[in-house]
Structure 1
Amino acid sequence: MQTIETSRSISLRNLFEGFCASGVKFREKVCEECGWSESTFYRKMRQGKIEDPNRPGRMINTISIAESEKIKDLAWEVQQDLKDLL
């Protein structure tokens, strides 16, 4: 098996730690940007949609369009941080 030398040494441990930390980093960024507590983050992640109290039988999103767009931007940032490990 050939090894490929790069200008920067990448260890399996560094990559693994980067992937493990990325979930925490993502959650922390979302909570900070959206003004949520950690509990709110997990509740919104679990619920997704709830029943509209004004219109029984109709479901509404627990995340606004603006929050959704911000979360997508934050996901791209965290993804870029992972790419930077390579």
Structure 2
Amino acid sequence: MNKSDLIDAMAADAGITKAAAKAALESLTENVTETLKKGGKVALVGWGTWSISKRAARTGRNPQTGKSIEIAAKNVVKFKAGAGFSNAVN
């Protein structure tokens, strides 16, 4: 399922227009992104939690040349599925 398919499904399930479903989805993604940028956590009970984890700088190796390279530190997004979501999938 891609973004367009998700918007169509949301509109059909909620009985709203595709424009309203698109606005709701974009609002969700923007708010989650902004909260994570600020170092916060987003938790939807029963579905899951998004959080930020810091990945330290490290030395890697280019497999083509064999040379060592420095990989910069960065923040990565983590998602931990909630019990309800995990049970529904399994």
TM-score with structure 1 length normalisation? 0.34
Which structure dedicates a bigger proportion of its chain to strand?
2
TM-score with structure 2 length normalisation? 0.33
Structure with the bigger RCO (C-alpha within 8 Å, sep 6+) is: 1
Which structure dedicates a bigger proportion of its chain to helix?
1
